[in-house]
Structure 1
Amino acid sequence: MSIASPSSHAASSRPALKPLDTALAELLAQAAPLSGVETVSTFDADHRVLAQDLVSSLDVPAHDNSAMDGYAVRCTDLAAGTLLQVTQRIPAGSTGHALKPQSAARIFTGAPIPPGADAVVMQEDCEIVETLEAGGASAAGVRIKALPAPGQWIRRRGEDVASGAVVLRQGQRLTPAELGLAASIGFDKLVVTSPVRVALFSTGDELVMPGEVPPSQMKPGAIYNSNRFFLRALLQRLGCVVTDLGIVPDQRQATIAALQGASQHHDLILTSGGVSVGEEDHIKPAVQALGELNLWQIAMKPGKPFAYGQVGSAHFIGLPGNPVSSLVTFLLLVRPFLLKLQGVDQVAINSIAIRADFTWARADKRREFLRVRRNAAGGLDLFSNQSSGVLTSAVWGDGLVDNPAGQTIAPGDTVQFIPFSALLS
């Protein structure tokens, strides 16, 4: 999608804004997967990333088995109302013997199908009766009220997983269902990539930690450090090991010292604030003094200022200070970067086409990410204040509309929606 060009005067004084997709591609090109691996219990592997393919050494299920509680039968024995003698009982975990003609086996869900049987009739379609055997003894019988088709309610051996199949591939980020699948083929431990070690700090003399100063005693211009809380939580959700270095003063040497120390034992240094070019923004010269830095002005709103570089062997990413800008740039840029560092092979962000039930008349030259919420009618409502400092918009909303540069929105238009649920998992 096209990005509006800056004026000729602005173009002569600063670089053109970089399209978001270009910035993401350049960022991901730097994210070589980390080499470390570790073995963890399958119980503890949720959200971890597989470091090797998982190959099954068995069929799942291991034998033809019943999908229902009912009766295993031979279809050739049956006509409407057929009465069969029940000659065996097969619970799950046991095996039966060959089914004789004109007989049925009482069978339970998961139990192996006895040789000779080719269908299961669910118990709701059967009537239990007593039959008289020779000599006057009574025996259990079953009348089949609904004729089955061959194969009915039989789960075939290997229909879920075949022996020798690659069940889960290297680079997959594990979910609870995948943990269950790994366990079903006998894996109680999994080899996963080592977590990314992240050093996190904020810059800004205006920042105050909640609990240190009550609201009534806040100095003019002071604000509580909200970014530190949501960035740390986002990193932990992605399985990172986080070292929280707190708030670094707006001083060149303090910033250099924090960066230098963090680079020693971390894969990534993540900061918020201080990535503009003002006199009190010390991140840029501090990173340049220790390593290298690319400072991008990205054609996105919110979240224009963004920095990537290296300090020693550690990656460096600097996020903007405004909370919504910091949140959105993390979700759209840092999250896929961290996933790729962990070896995840699919990091693309997918959007959903949904109807807009709002008006957005102010087309911007940048690509916009609007905070919205799904409504009961299946459309999207817009939060009234889209300022980059209004964090309540991200709490009220349940996702973002990815709106192209120069695009207005009218009620009924189809827009691209990115759910927070997908970005926060």
Structure 2
Amino acid sequence: MSDCFGSSGALLDVSEMLAHIRAAAPMPVGREHVPLAQAVDRILAAPIVATLPLPRYTASAMDGIAFAYQDRRCFRLVGEALAGHPFDAAVAPGEAVSITTGAPLPAGCDTVVMAEDIIVTGEWAKLSRPEAVGQGQNIRHAGEEVAVGDSVLSPGTPLGPAQLGMAASLGHEYIEVHCRPKVAIFSSGDELRRAGDVEDAAPSLFDANAFSLAACLKRWGADVVMTDILPDSLEDSVSRLSSASRQADLIITSGGVSAGQADLMRAAIQQLGQVTSWRVAMRPGKPMAFGHIEQIPFFGLPGNPVAALVTLMQFVQPLFRQLCGMTHWEAVKWHAISEQSLKGRFGRLDLLRGRYHIDAQGVISVSALKEQGSHRLSSLYDANCLIELPADMEACDAGTPVTIQPLGELI
């Protein structure tokens, strides 16, 4: 067992903390087959290899007439080809058929001209601009997008509308995806109570972190199986955390990791597992722990609401995405121009809540909010990004390029 809790020792650099988390290398939590209609935002677990070509057959890309290119002057119309109702006979030289978009190209035809470029008189048609016609134009050839045997989607791919549409085009009714990671979330302290509980005589606070952390994780695809408050009781804390380790793939606590707090988190973790990383050089979010409870990954996040959500975004998210089965996930970061001077502290990563905007030329500019206290949850929904001031940048002037993290998935 490792005792990494405490106020002594050097702070871990953010990159070191992330390296410790990556080294834990949790495997995705399992697989299941689900109907295609229920697979949106899931993560593909098995490759999809085409057993059919796309398009399935050679077809027209326009409404018009189909004919053989060498006869591109005047044609006798001998029928029509519709999507779902093909023209079954072969088209002879000097003949043409009316055709609609998506209809199979009849035998004997290799070119389609749109209806607007055709002059029809009775059963005869001629081209208004024959010199502009190219052989093979307006044709979708069988297999030109996907050939039989092509690897279409790889494991680890998030399944959005386009990916699900492709799977449907290839005839898949069910699809193999990774299971949603089960997450247990705890807030720590006797001073906390749930929203709606009757207030007693002792001063107390409503627990906000369990709701905000759970909401964020659900957006990422978690199955939140437990939200609870850990009391200031070693026996109860050990019992509830141990129970969580048998139900969840990931355990998150908030509060109880700051030096000097009157809590029993350290003792509880020492009984159940180990903390391998502790205290990170980042603001907000310095008092943060990472380890395992009975082999289940564990994060101890700060108790302040903003710090809890920011550390969730920076450190929990990479491990959670790995549990989901995502293979190429990276945090979204943009370059922006600071509209004001910014101040941080040398030796730590400062993440300032800010607002960016994009001008008509596509230039992103950003400014920091006035209020940066980590207890001010409103500062997160007033912001739309985090501004990075890296550990080697104590301050910067207006006009300095900076990196920002959009908060689209957090707020």
**Fold shared per TM-score above 0.5:** yes
Distance of 2:84 and 2:141 partners within structure 1: 16
Distance of 1:258 and 1:351 partners within structure 2: 37
Partner of 1:168 in structure 2? 153
Paired letter, 1:414: P
Are 1:86 and 2:77 an aligned pair? yes
* Structure 1: stretches of 5+ with no match in the other structure: 1-12, 132-138
Distance of 1:35 and 1:379 partners within structure 2: 40
Offset of residue 46 of structure 1: 1.5
Size of the aligned set, in residue pairs, is 398
Partner of 2:356 in structure 1? 374
Offset of residue 218 of structure 1: 9.2
* TM-aligned CA distance change 1:361 to 1:199, over 3 Å: closer
Partner of 2:214 in structure 1? 232
Contact 1:375 1:381 in 2 (8 A): no
Distance of 2:334 and 2:104 partners within structure 1: 44
Are 1:291 and 2:285 an aligned pair? no
Offset of residue 325 of structure 1: 1.0
Are 1:271 and 2:271 an aligned pair? no
Partner of 1:184 in structure 2? 169
Distance of 2:70 and 2:51 partners within structure 1: 36
Distance of 1:167 and 1:232 partners within structure 2: 34
Partner of 1:38 in structure 2? 32
Partner of 2:296 in structure 1? 314
Distance of 1:394 and 1:418 partners within structure 2: 13
Distance of 1:239 and 1:276 partners within structure 2: 29
Paired letter, 1:169: S
Query: SS state of the match for residue 192, structure 1?
Result: strand
Distance of 1:140 and 1:424 partners within structure 2: 63
Are 1:141 and 2:133 an aligned pair? no
Partner of 1:121 in structure 2? 113
Per-residue CA shift, 1:153-194, capped at 9, x if unaligned?
Answer: 222221221110111111222222211111111111111222
Segments of 4+ moved more than 4 angstroms: 217-220
Partner of 1:396 in structure 2? 382
* TM-aligned CA distance change 1:99 to 1:342, over 3 Å: same
Q: 1:95 aligns with which of 77, 83, 86?
A: 86
Query: SS state of the match for residue 333, structure 1?
Result: helix
Query: SS state of the match for residue 305, structure 1?
Result: coil
* TM-aligned CA distance change 1:120 to 1:355, over 3 Å: farther
Offset of residue 142 of structure 1: 4.8
Query: SS state of the match for residue 109, structure 1?
Result: coil
Paired letter, 2:13: P
Paired letter, 1:52: A
* TM-aligned CA distance change 1:184 to 1:329, over 3 Å: same
Offset of residue 39 of structure 1: 1.1
Distance of 2:116 and 2:346 partners within structure 1: 63
Distance of 2:106 and 2:80 partners within structure 1: 10
Q: TM-score, normalised by structure 2?
A: 0.89
Query: What percentage of aligned pairs have identical amino acids?
Result: 36
RMSD: 2.4
* TM-aligned CA distance change 1:277 to 1:363, over 3 Å: closer
Q: TM-score, normalised by structure 1?
A: 0.86
Distance of 1:394 and 1:40 partners within structure 2: 36
